[in-house]
A and B are shown apart, each in its own frame.
Chain A
């Protein structure tokens, strides 16, 4: 039997706050990331994603419940946990910006207890792999956001970890950089590493994960296949149109699968749907009526959660 990369049971974390009610950031969370799996943790801001990552990376203690990483307990066996994980979080921070990329990596390789000879080779290999070799000896403060993030990932890989914890790694990246980053994640999966990646982006969850757990208000609502997430994105798609006459609006409202037709301030009409194929019907109706200023957009995560939770008869929060 193989040990799961991450095994979390009944994990709860409460934050006490000055002059305020304590906040329950995680509420009896159960989660399993199998070995070799890319597991997405999808949830809006404040859902508890970072709190979970912090507990798994041993920088935060749980209030109750258990969490094992690579089979080791994050409270009692911190040493073993730390040796087996790599951590990457999004944003600009977490690097020594005055040092060069190579100096950053050599420094961390010493902290991950690698012999100098091994470290030199590994650092060169990681720089090459992340496309940073040419800038290896430049100060990190001169790097673009995408480069910093790739260096961050290289840093996370320095100890050759079995399990990677990626906390919103693509936040703030431009689309091209984010796509490159995702293909790196896919490569890492190919090497047999287990990955927990948090995100609030459904498209990201769909494109890189083997499984996706939904988290909101500190609770895991369920675990789905990325296909299902993709299905929701089209099922709950939104259509925007301008210059829609009143009788056409009425027609739209009468279409099956249309949940709402809202008129925004600037006379823009926003159509929400909640059935497969309904968005296509809306588009056809608009085009047939001669409306040409039409665009579609993805639903927000919050909207999808409202639908999903509603459909399952679960209470929100």
Chain B
């Protein structure tokens, strides 16, 4: 147990080192964050075209929270880097469990995504004419953190698939991300979709958590918020179990068919 914690910690430390090597504060703020804020603003303007302030509010909240999911879904790509860097066989041959390592290895995105969402929620609503008290906007940040974690495990599952099908790795990540954006109540309510898709949405991360955020920011009751976030946790744990199984399978079948290449 203590060992697992240390593996997680160091895997996370290298994830952060990776992040620092990818961005400087300036490039993060000027390129990455701005891009995310533009994305939210763009969708808000669609709401303005429709001319209903409630739609604008719906879109600003949905898209601000979705930033976290969008960034966290990069776990799918960064997981597949492990094969490109040639470290996969070394990882499998080490005494550590690949699932633990992969869980820590991309956790930089959790912080990155959460930071982008928080800033979006703090900065954008006043500009876009959405009236939300600052206090409640800050109060939903912990809810978004829960969402980030459940999306993360979902992304880890897709990352495990990407490791098996490297040619499709970017496609898998994009489809996952767009799927979440369309189905989980970001742009349109979940009830907009035909029943099968609506049911699917109940199993996806983000759906229930975003519901909780909307309840907290609107006039939902405390029990609505709690129920939503509890369901988000349940969904997150479910995906964590699927992820653990995915990485166990990845190693087992890789050993059998010889796809864990030395230096490749």
Q: Are B87 and A95 in contact (CB under 8 A)?
A: yes
> Per a CB cutoff under 8 Å, which of A60, A106, A113 touches B260?
A60
A98 to B18: give the CA distance in the assembly, Å.
Answer: 6
A275 to B255: give the CA distance in the assembly, Å.
Answer: 46
Q: Are A96 and B87 in contact (CB under 8 A)?
A: yes
A85 to B90: give the CA distance in the assembly, Å.
Answer: 11
Q: How far is the CB of A76 from chain B (nearest CB, A)?
A: 12
Q: Are B91 and A93 in contact (CB under 8 A)?
A: no
Q: Are B13 and A107 in contact (CB under 8 A)?
A: yes
> Within 8 Å CB of A50, what residues of B?
262
A97 to B257: give the CA distance in the assembly, Å.
Answer: 28
> Within 8 Å CB of B249, what residues of A?
none
A83 an interface residue at 8 Å Cβ cutoff? yes
A103 an interface residue at 8 Å Cβ cutoff? yes
> Within 8 Å CB of A108, what residues of B?
90, 94
Q: Are A98 and B17 in contact (CB under 8 A)?
A: yes
Over the window 109-145 of chain A, the binary record of Cβ atoms lying under 8 Å from chain B Cβ atoms (1 yes, 0 no) is 1111100100000000000000000000001000000
> Within 8 Å CB of A8, what residues of B?
none
Q: Are B95 and A59 in contact (CB under 8 A)?
A: no
> Within 8 Å CB of A215, what residues of B?
none
Over the window 240-266 of chain A, the binary record of Cβ atoms lying under 8 Å from chain B Cβ atoms (1 yes, 0 no) is 000000000000000000000000000
A170 to B93: give the CA distance in the assembly, Å.
Answer: 21
> Within 8 Å CB of A85, what residues of B?
93
Q: Are B90 and A87 in contact (CB under 8 A)?
A: yes
> Within 8 Å CB of B263, what residues of A?
89-91, 93-94
What is the size category of the interface that chain B forms with chain A? 20 to 34
Q: How far is the CB of A156 from chain B (nearest CB, A)?
A: 9
- Given known pairs A89-B262, A103-B17, A110-B10, the reply for A59 and B93 (CB within 8 Å) is yes
> Within 8 Å CB of B94, what residues of A?
82, 108, 111-112, 159
Q: How far is the CB of A12 from chain B (nearest CB, A)?
A: 13
A116 to B2: give the CA distance in the assembly, Å.
Answer: 12
Q: Are A167 and B262 in contact (CB under 8 A)?
A: yes
Q: How far is the CB of B78 from chain A (nearest CB, A)?
A: 11
Q: How far is the CB of A126 from chain B (nearest CB, A)?
A: 16
- Given known pairs A93-B85, A98-B18, the reply for A111 and B7 (CB within 8 Å) is yes
A15 to B264: give the CA distance in the assembly, Å.
Answer: 17
A159 to B96: give the CA distance in the assembly, Å.
Answer: 12
Q: Are B89 and A107 in contact (CB under 8 A)?
A: no
Q: Are A96 and B93 in contact (CB under 8 A)?
A: no
A50 to B13: give the CA distance in the assembly, Å.
Answer: 32
> Within 8 Å CB of B262, what residues of A?
50, 53-54, 59, 89, 167
Over the window 154-186 of chain A, the binary record of Cβ atoms lying under 8 Å from chain B Cβ atoms (1 yes, 0 no) is 010001000000010000000000000000000
Please report whether the interface of chain B is mostly helix, strand, loop or mixed according to DSSP: helix
B21 an interface residue at 8 Å Cβ cutoff? yes
Q: Are A82 and B93 in contact (CB under 8 A)?
A: yes
- Given known pairs A59-B260, A90-B263, A95-B87, the reply for A106 and B93 (CB within 8 Å) is no
Q: Are A107 and B10 in contact (CB under 8 A)?
A: yes
Q: Are B14 and A99 in contact (CB under 8 A)?
A: yes
Q: Are B255 and A93 in contact (CB under 8 A)?
A: no
Q: Are A107 and B255 in contact (CB under 8 A)?
A: no
Q: Chain B residue with minimal CB distance to A14?
A: B258
A57 an interface residue at 8 Å Cβ cutoff? yes
A50 to B86: give the CA distance in the assembly, Å.
Answer: 14
> Per a CB cutoff under 8 Å, which of B3, B87, B89, B254 touches A113?
B3
A110 to B86: give the CA distance in the assembly, Å.
Answer: 19
B54 an interface residue at 8 Å Cβ cutoff? no
Can you list 25 A-B pairs, Cβ within 8 angstroms, ordered by A? Answer: A50-B262, A58-B255, A59-B89, A59-B92, A61-B256, A82-B93, A82-B95, A87-B93, A90-B263, A93-B87, A93-B264, A94-B85, A94-B89, A96-B18, A98-B17, A104-B14, A106-B10, A108-B90, A110-B6, A110-B11, A111-B7, A111-B10, A111-B96, A113-B96, A139-B21
Listed in ascending order, the chain B residues whose CB lies under 8 Å from chain A are: 3, 6-7, 9-11, 13-14, 17-18, 21-22, 85-87, 89-96, 101, 254-258, 260, 262-264
Listed in ascending order, the chain A residues whose CB lies under 8 Å from chain B are: 13, 15-16, 50, 53-54, 57-61, 79, 82-83, 85, 87, 89-91, 93-100, 103-104, 106-113, 116, 139, 155, 159, 167
Q: Which 7 A-B pairs have the closest CB atoms?
A: A93-B86, A110-B10, A98-B21, A111-B96, A59-B260, A57-B93, A94-B86
16 additional contacts, CB 8 Å, given A58-B255, A110-B10, A111-B91?
Answer: A54-B258, A54-B262, A57-B93, A59-B262, A60-B258, A82-B93, A87-B90, A89-B262, A94-B87, A95-B87, A96-B85, A100-B17, A103-B13, A103-B14, A108-B94, A159-B95
